[in-house]
Amino acid sequence: MKITVVSHEIPYPANRGARIDIWRRIKAFVSLGVEIQLISWFKESPNPEDITEMQKYCQKVNLIQFKTNLSSLAYRAIDLLSYPLEVTSRIIRGEDYNNLLNDTRDFQPDVIWLDGIHGGNIAAKLSEVLQVPLITRSHNIEHLYYRRLLASTIGFKSKLKRYLSVAHLEKYEKDLLKKSLLFYDISADDFKYWEKEGFSNVRYLPPLIESTQESISPKNISPKNISQENSQETNISPEYDVVFLGALYVDNNIAGVIWFLTQVVPIILNALPNTKFLIAGLNPVDKIKQLCESQPGVDLSINPPSSLAVYNSGRVLINPVLKGSGVSIKSVEMLLLGKPIVSTPQGISGLPPQAKQLFTVADSAQTFAKEIIQLLSTNPNLKVDKQLLESLFGYQVVEKILMEIKSFI
Query: What pLDDT score does 385 carry?
Result: 84
In the predicted model, what is the mean pLDDT of residues 50-61?
97
At 96 the pLDDT is: 95
pLDDT tens per residue across span 63-82: 999 998 999 999 999 999 99
User: pLDDT at residue 202 above 80?
Assistant: yes
What would the pLDDT profile of 298-307 be if each residue is shown by its tens digit? 999 999 988 8
Q: What's the pLDDT band for 211 if we cut at 50, 70, 90?
A: low
pLDDT given at position 172: 98
Reported as a single tens digit per residue, the pLDDT across 380-409 is 877 788 888 999 999 999 999 999 999 998
Tens-digit pLDDT profile for residues 91-135:
999 999 999 999 999 999 999 999 999 999 999 999 999 999 999
Summarised one tens digit per residue, pLDDT across range 335-388 is 988 899 999 999 999 999 999 999 999 999 999 999 999 999 998 877 788 888
Looking at 73-77, 196-200, 247-251, 363-367, which range is the least confident one? 247-251
- Report residue 18's pLDDT band, with 50, 70 and 90 as the boundaries: confident
pLDDT at 318 over 80: yes
**For the chain, percent of residues with pLDDT exceeding 90:** 78
Tell me which CATH homologous superfamily contains domain 2-208+395-408: Glycogen Phosphorylase B; (3.40.50.2000)
Predicted confidence (pLDDT) at residue 245 exceeds the cutoff of 60: yes
Give yes or no for residue 213 having a pLDDT over 50: no
At 172-185, the pLDDT tens digits run 999 999 999 999 99
Work out the average pLDDT over 153-157. 87
Task: Give residue 338's pLDDT.
Answer: 86
Per-residue pLDDT reduced to its tens digit, 22-32: 999 999 999 99
Q: Is the pLDDT of residue 50 over 80?
A: yes
With a pLDDT cut of 70, the percent of the chain lying above it is 94
- Mean pLDDT, range 270-280, rounded to an integer: 97
Please report the pLDDT score of residue 265 as a whole number: 98
Of residues 333 and 225, the one with the higher pLDDT is 333
Mean of all residue pLDDT scores within the chain: 91
pLDDT of residue 186: 94
- CATH 3.40.50.2000 in the chain is located at 2-208+395-408, 231-390
pLDDT at 268 over 90: yes
The yes-or-no verdict on residue 236 having pLDDT over 60 is: no
pLDDT surpassing 90 at residue 293: yes
Instruction: Give, in words, the CATH class of 231-390.
Output: alpha beta
Q: Is the model's pLDDT at 214 over the cut of 50?
A: no
Using DSSP bridges, classify how beta strands 134-138 and 182-185 pair: parallel, antiparallel or unpaired.
parallel
pTM of the model: 0.86
- pLDDT (0 to 100) of residue 163: 96
